[in-house]
Structure 1
Amino acid sequence: MTQTSISSFSYAAQQAQQWVNELAEDLDWNVHRAYHLLKAVLTALRDWLSPEEAADLSAQLPLLIRGIYFEGWDPSLSPATERKKRDFVIRVEKSFGFETNIDFDTAINAVFKLLDRHISHGEIVEVRNSMKKSLRELWPAH
């Protein structure tokens, strides 16, 4: 393996860790919980988008986060048939693991804010516009 590919891999790990650390700080959680939430929200979001929009969003994710995003994806099942806010929150809860002491609306909003900080405004607008109005309420508007 060349030095360039090793440093690229190290950079990818640093970026992924930065995202998880930011989310943990935003929610005052440990990084383990923040990672699981990020994965749960990203995979639910991916399944709510058309395959084309899911791919467009993925192009702006850090390399290792992109791997998490696509893990287990079946594009033939996207977008999900039920795409209401309640269905999205339930999917995140199931993926995260049911914990009664979590306000999932707030947690999901924190992930969306993280995406807002790191993804281009134009892409965020496209993703938000592809969602039902009730789910867009969880995503901060600019």
Structure 2
Amino acid sequence: MKISGIATLDHSPQVVAEWLNELQQDLGWADRGRAYLLLRATLHAIRDFLTVEEAADLAAQLPILMRGIFYEGWVPSRTPAEARTVDDFLERVTGAFTVSPLAEPDVAVAAVFDLLRRHVSQGEFRQVAWAMRRPLRDLWM
């Protein structure tokens, strides 16, 4: 469906739907809203754990609407986060699940990481991995 006549913009909702479908399938989840919440919270945690430059490099690899989700509410002066352990990362993600907590946050986050692995260049994926502290890098890889 053409809305703007600009292919990148008109195709963006479909790309988000495809990513959410993949994530739901990977996790065996039926709830699309929950998948979106996980994707959004994980993207925000990744963004906040990277330097401003590395976050911008990763965002450049994302489709336009995903890039908007990634940047939503970002305060670059607060990045990278001071506490950057695996537990800190998972806490940031699980904090978004106030109504129905994640049973296995590490598995859910790993599914988002795998989704990103499939959709960004391998070079960028490795670059982000090396920008993270070792324990989180192990979860990322």
TM-score using structure 1 length? 0.91
Equivalence for 2:17: 17
| Partner residue in 1 for 2:114 | 113
What corresponds to 1:66 in structure 2?
Answer: 67
Aligned to 1:139: 140
Q: Counterparts in 2 of 1:117-128, with a 5 A limit?
A: 117-128=118-129
Give, in whole Å, the separation in 1 of the partners of 2:134 and 2:40: 23
Q: Percent identity?
A: 46
**Does the 8 A contact of 2:8 with 2:64 survive in 1?**
no
Superposed displacement of residue 97, structure 1 = 2.7
Give distance in 2, aligned partners of 1:98 and 1:88: 19
Unmatched segments (≥5 aa) in structure 2: none
Aligned-residue CA RMSD in angstroms? 1.7
Q: What is the Cα deviation at residue 8 of structure 1? A: 3.1
CA contact (8 A) 1:40 1:96 kept: no
Please report the TM-score for the alignment, with normalisation by the length of structure 2: 0.92
Residue in 2 that maps onto 1:28: 28
What CA distance in whole angstroms lies between the structure 2 residues aligned with 1:125 and 1:98?
34
Letter in 2 for 1:117: R
Unaligned 5+ segments in structure 1 are none
- Kindly report which structure 2 residues correspond to 1:30-109, keeping only aligned pairs within 5 A, or say none: 30-97=31-98, 99-100=100-101, 102-109=103-110
Taking the aligned partners of 2:102 and 2:119, their CA distance within structure 1 comes to: 28
Report how far residue 135 of structure 1 moved: 0.9
